[in-house]
Amino acid sequence: MGSEDSPELGAVDEPRPPSASLSSFSLRELHHVVIAIRTAAQISCCSRGNGTNDSTQGNFILLWYSDSPHLERIHFVVILIAYLLTLVSNTTIILVFQLDFHFHTPMYFFLTHLYFLDLSFTTSSIPQLLCNLSGGDKTIGYTGCAIQLFLFLGLGGVECLLLAVMAYDCFVAVCKTLHSMVIMNPCLCMALVLVAWGCGMANSLAMSPVTLLLPHCGNHHVDHFLCETPALIRMACVNTAAVEGTAFVLAVGIVLSPLVLILVSYGYIMRAVLQIQSVSGRQKAFNTCGSHLTVVSLFYGNIMYMCTQPGNSSSQDQGKFLTLFYNIITPLLISLIYTLRNKEANGALRRLMLGDTKVGKK
């Protein structure tokens, strides 16, 4: 009996090797746990982006000058000087146009709005840039970023439309000279300006919320010195094809449509100029439209160059420089272009600087 029980005891005490089914079961469970953890992390990230939008809980960090901190002082001084020159020049010209009755014409009415527009456009971003350059903090609040984006899109769209309105004014002045004051009456001028401002701001009102509501999944780093649409879209952690398509459609309506109207207007102007026999008449026509054509070339040349650049890092750096150029140098150049080519404006500026009390009087 003892001999019969010994094999059974030996069989019980012998350790069993791990089975293949148990090993595969453990691996499957471990794999499922890893997938569950990863899915939970993705859901948590997206819920922050889609629901509360984590960017609203903090600030955006502007990255343009993070790679060259040793140049910040030089950048600060140069940009500050250019900004102050823009403020002084545009404010002075607006004041002259308002005080002197000689400038109460459609062309100078539109120019006043253009100078005010450039002044507002520059002020919407440059003070924040100077603030970031003056210290170690490179952040901008969510509300400040939203306001900056809205003004950047809105004022840029208004300028496109206003340049088209000014091209139409040049067309009337050259091609409909005898009836220009009747056609471009104060009511029509005011209506055209209101349409330009309304459409530009409506475009921004449609695009800004779509851009700001994109989920960032905790990414607060804006690869730019201001909050603009392409930089904010690149921050998104979701597919942005629909947003980019919306931006393209709105850009066609607010940027390319005014350009088509400008080209058509100058086509008629060129045909009218070629029909003028006298040299003085042609010179007068070129003086009427030359400054506006220069501003249009400067404005749209900048936009077209940025649109034709590839999406690599070097082209993005060039885009940042061109945006800065458009924000602060272009308004200063516009004021110089119109005043240097205009003898009446130069004379009125001299009288204002000398404190002449006859400004605005016959």
**Cα 331 from Cα 122, distance rounded (Å):** 8
What 8-state DSSP symbol labels residue 275? Answer: T
Tens place of pLDDT per residue across the chain (362 aa) = 444 444 444 444 444 444 444 344 344 544 444 444 444 444 343 434 444 444 444 678 877 655 566 777 888 898 999 999 999 988 988 888 888 787 888 988 999 999 999 999 999 989 888 888 887 677 888 888 899 999 999 999 999 999 999 999 999 988 888 888 899 999 999 999 999 999 999 999 999 998 888 888 877 788 788 888 888 888 888 888 888 888 888 888 898 999 999 999 999 999 988 888 888 878 877 877 888 888 898 888 877 777 666 555 555 667 777 888 888 888 888 888 887 667 777 777 777 666 654 555 44
Smallest CA-to-CA distance from 317 within 63, 60, 122, 61 is with 63
- DSSP, collapsed to helix, strand or coil, labels residue 16 as coil
pTM exceeding the 0.85 threshold for the entire prediction? no
The answer to whether the CB of 208 falls within 8 A of the CB of 124 is no
Residues recorded for the chain:
362
289, with CB counted inside 10 A (0-12, 13-18, 19+), is buried
Smallest CA-to-CA distance from 115 within 100, 135, 95, 138 is with 95
- Buried b or exposed e, range 184-203, using 16+ CB within 10 angstroms: beeeebeebbeebbebbbeb
